[in-house]
Structures are given as structure tokens and as C-alpha cells.
């Protein structure tokens, strides 16, 4: 069993979880049994991943920056990273807009379907809370810069939703280590190295639980999917989103093949465990420890690059989520018979791009982003709940899919940045380590 690669163990866990969930759905007591006795193990696993997410970001960013030796190297990595992340996000949004305007999944939506969905979900606490939270976040365009700077780093370290503030402090801390005398910085660097090794070992131990946790998570999702009729009615919309996500994967793979000269099979073999975990957890932040391990040890990206690019990407790179925002916003407008002109579509691009920067890398954050996007194109306040209700039924499976794209995009950008700096190692340098 130990000789089976991790991604195959996770796939086996996913398949068994789906089958077990379907089996339990056939019994009246099955749903309660899964929720009470199986689902908690999945919850524990996600909590463990979130537990080490911020410590990993904190120590890896500081280590990665301080190991660069000079500030110019940091500038080279930072500029390339931000430009690439912003560029891929714009590409994702444009792909989503092109698909949804071409396929028009919301056109001709039956009034009874809209009414049924509205009656089912519009008063749902999950929807109203998302709208309320998004309305509270409404502010000036540059407020994300203000929110990036913590007024209490210890409070930020204790809240996973403030990950961007942790990144800001970690980058500032690492830069200051570069600027002071190296003899004075050495004890801190040694401490950070030790902490980094401990956190990475925690990742190894937690990942032993991954196949069992995925089993629990998938079983819970299956037994909780009650309204299959509505899911079928929204299948066209879901397929539009998935098609856009597939096109984004092809975009990533094209860049990897043409620029890094790496085979696509090699890339998927290296990233499969992280992608499968992203699908199961719907959280880029929870997947980050695994993503860093796979990118560094299996995709051969230098740790100095991956330790900076990936934590930043987990926070600001939301390609899959941004594509979903574009499709969902136009779909809702089509279904509610609200026409959108070119300026409205351009507003979607800009708003989705800015909203992705400060969005928390946790399940459900896409819904809050969507409300912000819908408000930016003038969807009336009384229609917001109806619009969210239209897509709420299949948001969970789509959230799982778009998180995979987010993680895959992070890996692609890290490889491109590493290649541009000569820090994408040949396979033979890490072969022994990876065995």
C-alpha cells in the first residue's frame, strides 16, 4: 500500500467516498450516519491543513526572501509574479465572457424554474449572509491596499481570512532581513530554517490522512445533494463554467509546454495530489501546504521561488473563481432579462480582477465576490437574492472545479517565474530526493 503513489490513493478515496455516499443515500438513516460519523474526519483534515497554512506562509516567505541574498533578486521575482498573476486572471475572465455570451446558458430560462429556485434558496441564510457580507465590503477601489496592511500582526496570524496581511508582514520581515547586517540576521535565519523544516514535516504527517479525509468529504457531499431536478435544469450553466475551466487548463499547459519545455504528463503526475485535494476541499489555502511540496519537490521549482510565488498566488490568483464570476454574472443577467452592454462587460473584467486580489482562499468566498460583481453592473438590490439563488444549487461542485484551476494556475506561474530566473531545476537534480 505504501508503494502506491499519493494521487492514486486520493483517487481511490474519492471513488469509494462517492460510492459510499450513493449507498448511504438509499437508506433513510444513511445521511445522518455519514454526517455524524464520517464527515467529522474530513472536517478534521481541513482544519489541520488550515492550522498549518499561516505558519507555512509566514516561515516560507521569510525564508524564501532572506535566502535571496540581495533585494534585486526579490524585485525580479516579485514583479514577474504579480504581472503573470494579473495577466492570467484577465485571460480567465475574458474566456468566461466569450463563452457565456456565445452559448447564452441563461437565455430562455423558464419562469417556473426561476420561481422554484427563488422559493427554495432566496431566503436561505447562506445566501442572505453572503449578500450582507459583500455589501459591508463595498468601498473605494483602493481599499484592498489598506486592508493589506495589518494593524496587529498577531490578530492577522490568528485569522485565516487575513492571509494577505500575513503575506504583507512576512514580505516586509524578509526584506528587512536582507537590508540588515548578515551576521545579525543569521540567528533569525537559522530559527526560520528550523521552523520551516518542522512545518514541512507536519505537512507530511497530515497528508497521510488525505485518502481517508477525501473519502469522508466526498461521501458528505453526495448525501447532501438532495435537489437533483434543479441541478439538471442548471446543467447548461454548469457545463459552460466547466468548459471555460477546461480552456484555462489548456492555456496553462500550452505555456508550460512552449516555455518550460516540460511534458504535460510530467506536470500532471507532479501536481495530481494537490489538484485532487483542491477538488475535495474547495480551498486554495487548505491545499497550499501540499501545493508547495509538489511544486518544489516534483515540479523542480527552486524553493526560493515557490516559497514566494505560491503563498501570494493562494491569495491573489483566483483564475478559476474569476472565470466563474464572469459566467455567473452574465448568466444571471440573461436569466433575469437584464441586458448588458460592452461597458458592463468591461466593468465585470475590472471588478472581478480587483475582487480576486483580496478574496479569501476558502470555500464559498466566490459567492461574496459574485455579489460585488453583480452590484458593479447595476443588478437591482431586490434581484441580488434571486440571482444568487439561481446558481446556489450547483455552486458547491463548481467551487470544487474552480479551486483546481486556481491551484493549477499557481503551479504554472511558479514554473514560468522559475524558468525565467534560471531556477527551474533539471529532473536529475531532484530525482533522488523525490524517490
Domains of the chain: 6-434 (1.10.3860.10)
Helices marked H in 125-162 — which ranges? 125-137, 143-148, 153-157
One-character DSSP codes across 243-290 = HHHHHHHHHHHHHIIIII---HHHHHHHHHHHHHHHHHH--HHHHHHH
Is residue 250 packed enough to be buried (19+ CB in 10 Å), middle (13-18) or exposed (0-12)? exposed
Contacts of 415 (CB under 8 A, 6+ apart): 256, 260, 262, 295, 299, 301, 424
Cβ count within 10 A of residue 227: 14
Would you say the pTM of this structure is higher than 0.75? yes
Cell of 250: 489548456
| Alpha-carbon dihedral 133, 138, 142, 143, rounded to 10 degrees | -50
- Which helix (H) or strand (E) segment holds residue 141: the answer is none
Rounded to 10 degrees, what is the CA torsion of 220, 20, 399, 388? -60
Q: Is 425 helix (H, G, I), strand (E, B) or coil?
A: coil
Q: Per residue of the chain (435 residues), give pLDDT as tens.
A: 567 877 788 889 988 998 999 899 889 899 899 999 999 998 898 888 888 888 888 888 888 888 876 787 788 898 899 999 999 999 999 999 999 999 988 887 767 767 766 666 566 666 666 666 665 555 565 666 787 899 999 999 888 777 778 888 998 998 899 888 888 989 999 999 899 889 888 888 888 888 998 899 888 878 876 554 455 567 888 899 999 999 999 999 999 999 999 988 999 999 999 999 999 888 887 898 899 999 999 999 998 899 889 988 887 888 988 898 899 999 988 888 888 888 889 988 888 887 776 555 555 556 667 877 887 888 876 677 777 777 876 787 888 899 999 999 999 999 999 999 999 988 654 443 433
Using CA atoms, how far residue 260 sits from 256, 267, 421, in Å, is: 5, 11, 12
**For residues 132 and 373, what is the distance between their CA atoms, to the nearest angstrom?**
14
Whether 302 contacts 292, CB under 8 Å: no
Residues near 25 by Cβ (< 8 Å), separated by ≥ 6?
31, 222, 223
Q: Taking the chain, what is the end-to-end CA distance rounded to the nearest angstrom?
A: 16
Amino acid at each position: 500500500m505504501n508503494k502506491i503513489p499519493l494521487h492514486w490513493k486520493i483517487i481511490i478515496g474519492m471513488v469509494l467516498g462517492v460510492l459510499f455516499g450513493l449507498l448511504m443515500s438509499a437508506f433513510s438513516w444513511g445521511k445522518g450516519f455519514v454526517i455524524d460519523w464520517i464527515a467529522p474526519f474530513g472536517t478534521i483534515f481541513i482544519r489541520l491543513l488550515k492550522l498549518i497554512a499561516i505558519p507555512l506562509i509566514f516561515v516560507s516567505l521569510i525564508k524564501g526572501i532572506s535566502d535571496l541574498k540581495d533585494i534585486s533578486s526579490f524585485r525580479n521575482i516579485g514583479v514577474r509574479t504579480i504581472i503573470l498573476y494579473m495577466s492570467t486572471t484577465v485571460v480567465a475572465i475574458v474566456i468566461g465572457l466569450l463563452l457565456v455570451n456565445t452559448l447564452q446558458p441563461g437565455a430562455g430560462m423558464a419562469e417556473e424554474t426561476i420561481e422554484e429556485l427563488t422559493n427554495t434558496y432566496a431566503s436561505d441564510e447562506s445566501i442572505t449572509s453572503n449578500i450582507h457580507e459583500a455589501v459591508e465590503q463595498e468601498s473605494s477601489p483602493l481599499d484592498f491596499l489598506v486592508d493589506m496592511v495589518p494593524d496587529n500582526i498577531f490578530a492577522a496570524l490568528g485569522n485565516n481570512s487575513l492571509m494577505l496581511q500575513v503575506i504583507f508582514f512576512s514580505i516586509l520581515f524578509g526584506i528587512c532581513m536582507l537590508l540588515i547586517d548578515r551576521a545579525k540576521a543569521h540567528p533569525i535565519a537559522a530559527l526560520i530554517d528550523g521552523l520551516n523544516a518542522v512545518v514541512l514535516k507536519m505537512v507530511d504527517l497530515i497528508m497521510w490522512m488525505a485518502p481517508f479525509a477525501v473519502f469522508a468529504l466526498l461521501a458528505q457531499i453526495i448525501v447532501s445533494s438532495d435537489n437533483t431536478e434543479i441541478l439538471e435544469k442548471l446543467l447548461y450553466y454548469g457545463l459552460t463554467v466547466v468548459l471555460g475551466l477546461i480552456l484555462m487548463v489548456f492555456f496553462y499547459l500550452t505555456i508550460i509546454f512552449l516555455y518550460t519545455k516540460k511534458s504535460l504528463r510530467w506536470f500532471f503526475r507532479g501536481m495530481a495530489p494537490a489538484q485532487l485535494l483542491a477538488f475535495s476541499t474547495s480551498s486554495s489555502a487548505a491545499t497550499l501546504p501540499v501545493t508547495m511540496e509538489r511544486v518544489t519537490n516534483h515540479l523542480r521549482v527552486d524553493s526560493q521561488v515557490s516559497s514566494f510565488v505560491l503563498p501570494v498566488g493562494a491569495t491573489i490568483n483566483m483564475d478559476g473563481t474569476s472565470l466563474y464570476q464572469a459566467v455567473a454574472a452574465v448568466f444571471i443577467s440573461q436569466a433575469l432579462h437584464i441586458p448588458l452592454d460592452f461597458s458592463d462587460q468591461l466593468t465585470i473584467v475590472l471588478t472581478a480582477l480587483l475582487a480576486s486580489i483580496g478574496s479569501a482562499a476558502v470555500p464559498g468566498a466566490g459567492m461574496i465576490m459574485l455579489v460585488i460583481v453583480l452590484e458593479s453592473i447595476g443588478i437591482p438590490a431586490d434581484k441580488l437574492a434571486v440571482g444568487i439563488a439561481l446558481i446556489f444549487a450547483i455552486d458547491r461542485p463548481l467551487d470544487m472545479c474552480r479551486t483546481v484551476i486556481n491551484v493549477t494556475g499557481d503551479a504554472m506561474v511558479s514554473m514560468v517565474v522559475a524558468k525565467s530566473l534560471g531556477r527551474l531545476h533539471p529532473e536529475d537534480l531532484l530525482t533522488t530526493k523525490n524517490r
